Structure 1
Amino acid sequence: MLGGFAKSLFGSSNDRYVKSLKSITDKIAALEPQMQAMSDDDLSQQTARFRERLAAGENLDALIPEAFATVREASVRTLGMRHFDVQMVGGIVLHRGEIAEMKTGEGKTLVATLAVYLNALPGEGVHVVTVNDYLARRDAEQMGKLYGFLGLTTGVIVPNLADHERRAAYHSDITYGTNNEFGFDYLRDNMKYDRASMVQRPFAYAIVDEVDSILIDEARTPLIISGPTDDKSDLYIQVDAVVKQLGEDDYEKDEKQKSIILTEDGTERVERMLEAAGLLEGANLYDFENTQVVHHTNQALRANKMFKRDTDYIVKDGKVIIIDEFTGRMMDGRRWSDGLHQAVEAKEGVQIEPENQTLASITFQNYFRMYPKLSGMTGTAATEAPEFYDIYKMNVVSIPTNVPVQRVDEEDEFYKDTQDKFRAIAKRIREHAEKGQPVLVGTVSIEKSELLSEFLNQEGVRHEVLNARFHESEAHIVAQAGRLGAVTVSTNMAGRGTDIKLGGNAEFRIEDELRDMPEGPERDAAIAKIEAEVEAERQQVIAAGGLFVLGTERHESRRIDNQLRGRSGRQGDPGLSRFYLSLDDDLLRIFGPDTLFAKMMRNNIGDGEAIGSKWLTKAIETAQKKVEARNYDIRKQVVEYDDVMNDQRKVIYEQRADIMDADTVGDVVVDMRVATVNAVVGGAIPPDTYPEQWNIEGLKAQASELLNVDVPIEEWVKEEGIEPETIEERVLAAAEAVVEEKAKDLDTETWTGIEKSILLQNLDHHWKEHLAMLDALRQVVHLRAYAQKTPINEYKQEAFAMFERMLGNIREDVTRTLAYAQFRMAPQMPEFGDYGQLPELPDFITSHIDPFTGEDNSADWDAGTRGLVNTTLPPLSIPKPTGAEVGEDPESWKGVVNRNAPCPCGSGLKYKHCHGALV
């Protein structure tokens, strides 16, 4: 009570913080006349002046008033948009590495230009991270006009760019792109064998748009680059057939935890069926020999009993495509890991793609924490403020709206069941649409949006359905959702990135209706007519009450509900919002206070009746908070486990970078050889033992196997007083002599290239194997809890021991490879730009499948030895990249052009993405 009184008297801490920034916004406003008086040339020269001041020792904070005033004036001249004072506040918040929470329609894209410009002045690069490719391209194109006017370069990162295009984009002053592309480029860069072929430069500053969607929702799963493993299609199909015969009594399902397990009777039944199918070794399902079968059975059980078609995924063109639970979009190319996607493919009877093995992975949390300065913006972040601070050390600042919000948020309305609810919704939509009020309807799944569409058809209501099936046209549908009497049904409005303007969007209408009309007076007149129609329609919609946002169900997260609500009431427009709920809704069914809701709803509500109260709305919010807390725990656990891997990842990636940057790696190779000899001799000759206790035969065998030397150890031990150290020195000298003999025929540069190649290939091979081991460990370590041990602590200890073993294996393999290798130069080595000749590599390196795009995005020059051939690969040559030099006929390129080489047609694409895809 006292807290509420104090807040009303002094304002909240957020209000006080925003108020403290007024002195800076006043300075920016005072500079406006000065900026307006400048010519275009003078204004664009501001960037050079600011950079001179930075070079002289001034810091960025001192430049804020002048830099922001410069951007404001440049925006007016290039975009026709002037930043409001509240947008200046947002810019300051972003510059300070905090999260700016701004309501929909407040112009977040324009706010970002302030902090982006200021932080681009040092020339270290600014990354602007968006949720999809459409927004990345759109924002880069629109805001690029402003940056270009001020003398800054803008790049954009989207899928299927060639490496030289990515490198150019990353070396621009400002780079737009999606979170997935930035993360995958980081992983791919750390799988390359040549520093020159890496595309990113050191991180400096990033602004994350829709920060809650990227750093909270999508952070539940890590980014993974993977390569194919053996095909097990038959096993998936056989296990799926067994699971399909199970009844509800054979398993227990926990929708709250999203888990499912076999009952005792179910286990016995599965054992009998698997045994009959010849898939079980022995009589017990849980014997060690049946580990793989158990894993496949569990995944088939989840696929058949937990995952629903048209809710969790859809089947399109014979492929299972995941539906993003937060945005309702198809995640084309993204695949569930650990065999789950294959289990769903078996369930649906479509072609089963091979499982993938992890080659590199990182969580969004650990990726974005690598930026020295990170900020974000969104319309809804306050509910997740503690998590943003705990994980990313970013505060959330709520920015006041430019014009007070006029939207009316009505209390939730409750119905007995889904049918009653949807009937009521359809009638309510018809009433509002008939009086000209546009309606935006939010549903939680494709299934629900199509069910509502049927009810609307029965009521005779014309409407547009926006869901994962029609995402190509979503921007145009959303843009016109504010037209008179328009009814738009949307699966989810998170991160759609297009404002709903009352009366419709003139720009989209011009693009759609006048696309084929040439420039000239006729087109200008048509544009003026459309703009006048849109303004007249806007006034009619305002008179009808503005946009009505109707939610058919509460989402697990309050943020998603707020995002839907936030589509109405833009920039002081009138608006209305209301949610309709029923006892059948997933949130109430799974997380609601069961007995309370059930008794009240069933006893007090008749068919078709509705009730609404603040108490019920509060109860729903409590259920949502429970789910949010649970989801936070899941994300926190993902981070805890990835932190262990992250420490190891840093060591491996730093080691790779050191190897690539070094002029010579001879010292590293020698140290590995010394450590290997030390381990071999130490194992055969333990400390404080007598010569008769030494394992001479074992030592000879290991020296031969690892070092390619045949040493007379049995003669040495006959020498009186021989010490283990002496034997170690002699074995090492013999090993050194073998390698020196190989190196003497090659020049220093060539030998260094060989050593680097062998080091990097061994490092990558063992790191890949280590990741697979860590994945397996993570899946079973929770069982240690039964022994009263903390799983995460056990994971840390085991992972550290595995890492130590991996380093030992790398040392041994590098030593063995160099000892046995036979080197010769490839017969002809045409040069490719700066990169020289590179051999084709095994699948596990060249096949980098992005789970988010399904594309093989391996770089053109992922790895190799610059024309040197290692022991396991035959000499290969890459043809020259022009059509004239390899023959003009594309048919003649088949089997001659390396699939990862630039296509000889000169398109700039890889051969496999161009003519190689056709032959």
Structure 2
Amino acid sequence: MAGLGMLARKIFGSANDRRVKSYRPRVAQINSLEDEVKALSDDALRARTAEFREQLANGAKLEDLLVPAFATVREAAVRVLGQRHYDVQLIGGMVLNDGAIAEMKTGEGKTLVATLACYLNALPGKGVHVVTVNDYLAKRDSEMMGRIYGFLGLTTGVIVHNMNDDQRRAAYNCDITYATNNELGFDYLRDNMKYERPQMVQRPHAYAIVDEVDSILVDEARTPLIISGPLEDRSDLYTTIDTFIPSIVEGDFELDEKQRTVIFTEEGTEKLEGMLTEAGLLKGASLYDIENVSIVHHVNQALRAHKLFQRDKDYIVKDGEVVIIDEFTGRMMPGRRYSEGLHQALEAKERVKIQPENQTFASITFQNYFRMYEKLAGMTGTAATEADEFMDIYGLEVLEIPTNMPIARADDDDEVYRSVQEKYDAIVETIRDAKTRGQPVLVGTTSIEKSETLAALLKRQGFRQHDFDVLFDGDDGSKNEMVFQVLNARYHEQEAYIIAQAGVPGAVTIATNMAGRGTDIQLGGNAEMRIERELGDMPAGPERQAAEAKIHEDIARLKQKAIDAGGLFVIGTERHESRRIDNQLRGRSGRQGDPGQSRFYLSLQDDLMRIFGSDRMEGMLQKLGLKEGEAIVHPWINKALEKAQQKVEARNFDIRKNLLKYDDVMNDQRKVIFEQRIELMTEESVDDTVKDMRHDVIEGLVAKHIPENAYAEQWDTEGLHAAVLESLNIDLPVQDWAREEGIADEEMRERIIKAADDIYADKEERFTPPLLRHIEKAILLQTLDQLWREHLAALDSLRSVIGFRGYAQRDPLQEYRTEAFALFEALLSSLRQAVTAQLMRVELAEQPPEPEPVDESIMHASHINPLTGEDEMALAEQAALAGAASHFSATPGKGADVFGQVGRNEPCPCGSGKKFKHCHGALV
């Protein structure tokens, strides 16, 4: 059957080929309009935008306008940027317009492709969001592509750090808005913590194009965006528990590296109970008594911190803080903290200051945020391996777009060595050989530790690490030096510039996985960045033009030299758990038909080989009797590794899918609460809502204390009297009413309702209706927010223990749904009671109460982009506190966020006395 399938694909093409082919007729139509559009004046070309909008207003559909709109954008790009969309880029634009994922190789111009779908989908005026993986790319792309949109009469906005709400609102009101996934998500959460509708910054979610879609919708899908604030300080407890763990030795715990779990054995539990009893922390005889739930949680986290998490692999200690290292990229994630007390356990382990735990104010996952868009599309160089996940979770189809030029990169089979040392020796020798021939080399590592191990090896072999403020000057002489550069979490500020120059002949760049993603590695170097660096101070004129021409000539010469040497040589130091990450690394070489080469070096001691690899593979290699320094190279090895990776990918997909099922439960409730908040903020008056709540509370009180069809002597009138006094602040003669002959529960209810309504009417007369309406809305929103926060904490606690229901042969997910629904109903009941009780007690003060939003100074927004390793929100707070510029890397004007628009030759506003271009506006 497999043979028949292969035969059918050869004759008819794959499903992907057929889909791509279906776009070709429209490409031909766009090409046929090229001469006609080229003949238009600038004003006539710009006027087409108004014509398209008029056609939409008259009933035309976007699909009807696709061909002329794409032809318009292509011509505008030629006039403004000097770049013409290739035919394959037109196909990519159509895929994006269809709400699918365009997989396009590195260097195929995805940024330019997005302009086609952006322009077309911006015509209805609902707003288009272009989502990037970091602020540098958002700003760079909005400035460059914004020139095309501006030429065609559309507005472009960008959301970056340190922007206030007015600036954000203005950016969201633009036709096309560039922003990071973090900024979009946090703005959504903050909007739903506002108390007036005009304070919100976002518009409804119409259309989004997600750049590096695999990073945002797959890698980051497991961690929610969280806005939180600190709780009470419990650092003493963490420190005390941490002192017990060094006494826990092998045999006291069971470690499973594959599942990333560690648990106490029976012996370990007994030992721990003794230590906790001695410290006075244990209540009762057993660690697992109900009173010790919190202690159990903390000792388990301390055990994880010591036995599962390794310094300089999972985290580093920098400036007295524990900073997480991202598992995908090996880059630091400042501001990101592990939840549920794990980060505090790590801080106790490393003897640094323990920061207090946080209470969640609002949270959402990217899975649920991006599913809010009416139409969603994405683009990346690597999505095919995750196609099932994109379709299953987001309903997004993945289409592979052919490259403009055939790929000329040679992907060698993996070389497998017995030990890590032998593998590194082979890598160093390969680097030396490539360096001698003038071939640029990019070495991909999976962690900071491994990149620095390799750097140390190179230094011992006579190589010298480049200073980061010194880059390649373009003369051949410097290339003969045995120098290299390291790009990892410790130096991520320079990533765009370093990675852009990694294609210079003889350059050796060691990068933790995909650091610098979003910046092309061009053979010979990047002309724009060199011009900015070398000629930044030179005024425009003939002299500058000549200097620029010289740089272009130099880069063309260096490019030819790099091509002659074989193009960019990508070396992988080990396989990643995901094939996609390996493909990203490979894809850095061979852009736009350039030659290139890639090879992975492995050892039997690598994590993937050791934990997930086939035992048969190890046995096979041992039988072959490899000599020291020898490697096995065979396609079968690649296939066996690929199968191991597929197993891990499938497991990770199942984890993400399972997490989403649980998050969907919270998401349904979140939507109800957030929609309710917007409705309440939008309404002029909430008095009907307040009245319904008051009546519901009364009905509930009567139903509780006067059972249906019960005799009067069975009524709990004393309890009803007390409940009415507590909930409504009214002292009613309930017992006297109950003694009246023939009275029924319905009449009791009506009397209590009338009494409450009369008192409230009197309150309204004293307060005046406008003031009471204001108070009602303020109390209702504040109470809703407080209860929602408590509800989030309750759901977190429920989620952490619900798995144990599986031991009772019950489905944990179904149990979670049932319990979460009961908690939500309790939230709504508490809301009615709390709002009613407060409003019945409120008295007129000199100033009406204003809704008190959460103090933003204590709020902490946390989420990380695995491909950048940065928590942009935390970095923004640090920059604001320091009064320094934002962290934009390798771009002029990096102080613009803090200081606004400052001329490059003007004094820097920070007061240093230097020119802005030499201070906060300098290139990194």
TM-score, with normalisation over the residues of structure 2?
Answer: 0.91
Paired AA for residue 521 in structure 1: P
For 1:527, which of 542, 548, 551 is the aligned residue?
Answer: 548
* Whole-Å separation in 2 of the counterparts to 1:542 and 1:14: 32
* Residue 383 of structure 1: how far off its partner (Å): 0.5
- The answer to whether 1:682 aligns with 2:703 is yes
- The answer to whether 1:765 aligns with 2:786 is yes
For 1:9, which of 5, 8, 11 is the aligned residue?
Answer: 11
- DSSP-derived class of the 2:859 partner: coil
Paired AA for residue 713 in structure 1: V
* Residue 19 of structure 1: how far off its partner (Å): 0.9
For 1:235, which of 219, 234, 237 is the aligned residue?
Answer: 237
* Whole-Å separation in 2 of the counterparts to 1:721 and 1:553: 86
- Structure 1 pair 319/415, CA: closer, same or farther in 2 (3 Å)? same
For 1:79, which of 59, 78, 81 is the aligned residue?
Answer: 81
- Structure 1 pair 264/487, CA: closer, same or farther in 2 (3 Å)? same
For 2:201, which of 187, 199, 202 is the aligned residue?
Answer: 199
Which deviates more from structure 2 when the two are superposed, residues 52-61 or residues 744-753?
A: 744-753
* Whole-Å separation in 1 of the counterparts to 2:351 and 2:371: 42
Indicate the residue corresponding to 1:219 in structure 2: 221
- DSSP-derived class of the 1:699 partner: helix
Query: Is the 2:100–2:396 contact (alpha carbons within 8 Å) kept by the matching residues of 1?
Result: yes
Q: Deviations over 1:681-739 (max 9, x none)?
A: 11111112122211111111111111010001111111101111111111111212222
* Residue 352 of structure 1: how far off its partner (Å): 1.1
Instruction: Map 1:273-352; keep pairs closer than 5 Å.
Output: 273-352=275-354
* Whole-Å separation in 2 of the counterparts to 1:792 and 1:414: 43
Q: Deviations over 1:427-476 (max 9, x none)?
A: 11100111000000000000000001111112223110000000000001
For 1:811, which of 832, 835, 838 is the aligned residue?
Answer: 832
Indicate the residue corresponding to 1:879 in structure 2: none
Query: Is the 1:327–1:495 contact (alpha carbons within 8 Å) kept by the matching residues of 2?
Result: no
Instruction: Map 1:13-28; keep pairs closer than 5 Å.
Output: 13-28=15-30
- Structure 1 pair 856/457, CA: closer, same or farther in 2 (3 Å)? closer
Indicate the residue corresponding to 1:434 in structure 2: 436
Instruction: Map 1:356-755; keep pairs closer than 5 Å.
Output: 356-461=358-463, 462-493=483-514, 496-598=517-619, 600-601=621-622, 604-755=625-776
- Structure 1 pair 838/694, CA: closer, same or farther in 2 (3 Å)? closer
Q: Deviations over 1:504-557 (max 9, x none)?
A: 111111122222333333322221111111100100110000000000000000
Indicate the residue corresponding to 2:94 in structure 1: 92
* Residue 259 of structure 1: how far off its partner (Å): 1.1
Query: Is the 1:129–1:209 contact (alpha carbons within 8 Å) kept by the matching residues of 2?
Result: yes
Query: Is the 1:160–1:857 contact (alpha carbons within 8 Å) kept by the matching residues of 2?
Result: no
* Whole-Å separation in 2 of the counterparts to 1:598 and 1:281: 52
Which deviates more from structure 2 when the two are superposed, residues 453-462 or residues 766-775?
A: 453-462
Query: Is the 1:466–1:477 contact (alpha carbons within 8 Å) kept by the matching residues of 2?
Result: yes
Query: Is the 2:779–2:835 contact (alpha carbons within 8 Å) kept by the matching residues of 1?
Result: yes
* Whole-Å separation in 1 of the counterparts to 2:851 and 2:732: 36
- Structure 1 pair 841/502, CA: closer, same or farther in 2 (3 Å)? closer
* Whole-Å separation in 1 of the counterparts to 2:716 and 2:854: 38
Query: Is the 1:707–1:816 contact (alpha carbons within 8 Å) kept by the matching residues of 2?
Result: yes
Q: Deviations over 1:188-219 (max 9, x none)?
A: 11111100100001111000000001000110
* Residue 608 of structure 1: how far off its partner (Å): 1.4
* Residue 603 of structure 1: how far off its partner (Å): 5.7
- DSSP-derived class of the 2:299 partner: helix
- Structure 1 pair 854/542, CA: closer, same or farther in 2 (3 Å)? closer
- DSSP-derived class of the 1:346 partner: helix
5+ residue gaps in structure 1?
828-836, 860-889, 891-904, 909-913
- Structure 1 pair 359/598, CA: closer, same or farther in 2 (3 Å)? farther
Indicate the residue corresponding to 1:180 in structure 2: 182
* Residue 62 of structure 1: how far off its partner (Å): 0.8
Query: Is the 1:213–1:494 contact (alpha carbons within 8 Å) kept by the matching residues of 2?
Result: no
* Whole-Å separation in 1 of the counterparts to 2:359 and 2:561: 58
Paired AA for residue 721 in structure 1: G
* Whole-Å separation in 2 of the counterparts to 1:495 and 1:648: 38
* Residue 248 of structure 1: how far off its partner (Å): 2.3
Instruction: Map 1:43-58; keep pairs closer than 5 Å.
Output: 43-58=45-60
* Whole-Å separation in 1 of the counterparts to 2:112 and 2:577: 31
* Whole-Å separation in 2 of the counterparts to 1:397 and 1:601: 42
- DSSP-derived class of the 1:744 partner: helix
Paired AA for residue 422 in structure 1: Y
Q: What is the number of residues matched between the two proteins?
A: 856
Query: Is the 1:848–1:857 contact (alpha carbons within 8 Å) kept by the matching residues of 2?
Result: no
Paired AA for residue 118 in structure 1: L
- Structure 1 pair 907/216, CA: closer, same or farther in 2 (3 Å)? closer
- Structure 1 pair 291/858, CA: closer, same or farther in 2 (3 Å)? farther
* Whole-Å separation in 1 of the counterparts to 2:36 and 2:125: 26
Query: Is the 1:375–1:394 contact (alpha carbons within 8 Å) kept by the matching residues of 2?
Result: yes
Paired AA for residue 538 in structure 1: K
Paired AA for residue 558 in structure 1: R
* Residue 324 of structure 1: how far off its partner (Å): 1.9
- Structure 1 pair 457/15, CA: closer, same or farther in 2 (3 Å)? same
* Whole-Å separation in 2 of the counterparts to 1:293 and 1:249: 21
Q: Deviations over 1:586-635 (max 9, x none)?
A: 11111111354155247622221111111111010001001100110111
- Structure 1 pair 846/428, CA: closer, same or farther in 2 (3 Å)? closer
* Residue 126 of structure 1: how far off its partner (Å): 0.1
Instruction: Map 1:903-914; keep pairs closer than 5 Å.
Output: none
Indicate the residue corresponding to 1:832 in structure 2: none
For 1:850, which of 849, 857, 861 is the aligned residue?
Answer: 861
* Residue 846 of structure 1: how far off its partner (Å): 7.1
Query: Is the 2:93–2:113 contact (alpha carbons within 8 Å) kept by the matching residues of 1?
Result: yes
* Residue 858 of structure 1: how far off its partner (Å): 13
* Whole-Å separation in 2 of the counterparts to 1:457 and 1:858: 36
* Whole-Å separation in 1 of the counterparts to 2:780 and 2:596: 64
Q: Deviations over 1:6-42 (max 9, x none)?
A: 1111111111111111100000001111111111111
Query: Is the 1:186–1:200 contact (alpha carbons within 8 Å) kept by the matching residues of 2?
Result: yes
Query: Is the 1:224–1:850 contact (alpha carbons within 8 Å) kept by the matching residues of 2?
Result: yes
Paired AA for residue 717 in structure 1: A
- DSSP-derived class of the 1:45 partner: helix
Query: Is the 1:78–1:145 contact (alpha carbons within 8 Å) kept by the matching residues of 2?
Result: yes
* Residue 82 of structure 1: how far off its partner (Å): 0.6
Paired AA for residue 592 in structure 2: Q
* Whole-Å separation in 2 of the counterparts to 1:524 and 1:857: 38
Q: Deviations over 1:454-507 (max 9, x none)?
A: 111122231100000000000010000000100000001166110000011111
* Whole-Å separation in 1 of the counterparts to 2:490 and 2:76: 40
- Structure 1 pair 602/316, CA: closer, same or farther in 2 (3 Å)? farther
* Whole-Å separation in 2 of the counterparts to 1:737 and 1:248: 72
- Structure 1 pair 840/691, CA: closer, same or farther in 2 (3 Å)? closer
* Residue 86 of structure 1: how far off its partner (Å): 0.3
Paired AA for residue 200 in structure 1: Q
For 1:245, which of 239, 244, 247 is the aligned residue?
Answer: 247
